[in-house]
Amino acid sequence: MAVVGVGVDVVDVERFAAILRRTPSLADRLFTAGERAVEGPERLAVRFAAKEALAKALGAPPGMSWHDAEVVSDSDGRPRIRISGTVAAVAEAVGIRTWHLSLTHDGGVAIAFVVAEA
């Protein structure tokens, strides 16, 4: 397998939480219902970081829908990315078959790292 793209993103948790408080409808635009169901601002912030890191791994193509990339957990609790629609189309066009995702949040900072493989 060959690495097609790598993306990383860092989000200030309190700043992100303040933005969501100011514009509550933003959460609906950025996150799926399943993602919005998680508790705690750090968990939403790290999911946003994952979506940004994914976009960077794809080369930040225009026209992708936020809802077409969803951060979910495997049965063992490990995070993974579920793609559909616009994101799946871009991934298929560049030959991505496997995604690797690492998330962390500590000290008011949320970080996501994404590796896309062919």
For residue 70, the model assigns a pLDDT of 98
pLDDT number for residue 49:
98
Find the CATH number of the domain harbouring 56.
3.90.470.20
**What is the reported pLDDT for 21?**
97
Residue 28's pLDDT is what? 97
pLDDT in tens, 78-107: 999 999 999 999 999 999 999 999 999 999
Give the pLDDT confidence score for residue 1 in this predicted structure. 76
Range of the domain at 7: 3-117
Which parts of the chain register pLDDT below 70? none
Give me the amino acid identity at 100.
H
pTM: 0.95
Predicted pLDDT of residue 73: 93
Q: How many domains, the chain?
A: 1
